[in-house]
Structure 1
Amino acid sequence: MNWVYLVLAGLFEIGWPLGLKLSQTMSSKILGIAIAIVSMLLSGILLWFAQKTIPIGTAYAVWTGIGAVGTLIIGILYFGDSASVLKLLSASLIVIGIVGLKFT
């Protein structure tokens, strides 16, 4: 169950930079900022639950990896960020590292 908490924490980790970006692109900045704050809170709480049995180094690396790669994908798909081969290859190395941490 703690790995489920960790994955959810990583997904909410995507929410706070997304909320900040939305606050810059929407007419009402409040909604984007609220999304960011709620995402930060939920991400932190879920990470706290996950660390009850998952080592801190593993939990933190997986949490930030999910957040980084997820945010990269959101940026490419929805905000027109560049998707160079090197950028995608680098992101795939992060995913490989996350999977490696899960199975070691």
Structure 2
Amino acid sequence: MGTYETAATLDFVVDAVPGLSSTTLGWILVILAAAFEFLGVIGLKKYSEHKTLFNGFIYLLGFGGAFAWLYFSFEYLQVSVAYAVWIGIGTAGAVIINMLFFGESKSVGRIASVLLIVIGVVGLKFVS
């Protein structure tokens, strides 16, 4: 058997954009994954309230896109770091979205907890 190579690579983007490193592309992909996760969170909340085809589509598109972009990021970043940062951004984003748009509690404890998540994510980014 030959060596295993994945078809999931975006090296052509690194080659096409002057000054773009593969590591930077990896972080861009993690951020895209987090943005799609935010869409998935909104879709999930809306779908749990009103089971419409549109809300279900947003829910599936958001989480499906999130996993796809995260998968691509693994080509350029350590899986453990990319996954942890994605989870941190997604968790903090979900809490903030639900506080701002869906009336969830804005207690000091929740806000402090989100800040701790953000500090952890930034710390992982700087040490990797």
- What is the CA-CA distance between 1:66 and the residue it aligns to? 1.0
Structure 2, unaligned runs of 5 or more: 1-24
How many matched pairs? 103
One-letter code of the match for 1:37?
L
Equivalent residue, structure 2, for 1:9: 33
Equivalent residue, structure 2, for 1:60: 83
Q: Distance in 2 between matches of 1:17 and 1:66?
A: 12
Q: Distance in 1 between matches of 2:47 and 2:53?
A: 7
* Deviation string, structure 1 residues 42-70 (Cα, Å, up to 9, x no partner): 11111011111211111111111111111
Give the % identical residues.
Answer: 38
Equivalent residue, structure 2, for 1:21: 45
SS of the equivalent of 1:81 reads: coil
Which one has more relative contact order, counting CA pairs under 8 Å at least 6 apart? Answer: 1
| Alignment RMSD (CA, Å) | 1.2
Task: Give the TM-score normalised by structure 1.
Answer: 0.92
Q: Distance in 2 between matches of 1:65 and 1:15?
A: 16
Equivalent residue, structure 2, for 1:71: 94
Task: Give the TM-score normalised by structure 2.
Answer: 0.76
Over alpha carbons, which structure has the higher Rg?
Answer: 2
Structure 1, unaligned runs of 5 or more: none
Equivalent residue, structure 1, for 2:112: 89
Equivalent residue, structure 1, for 2:17: none
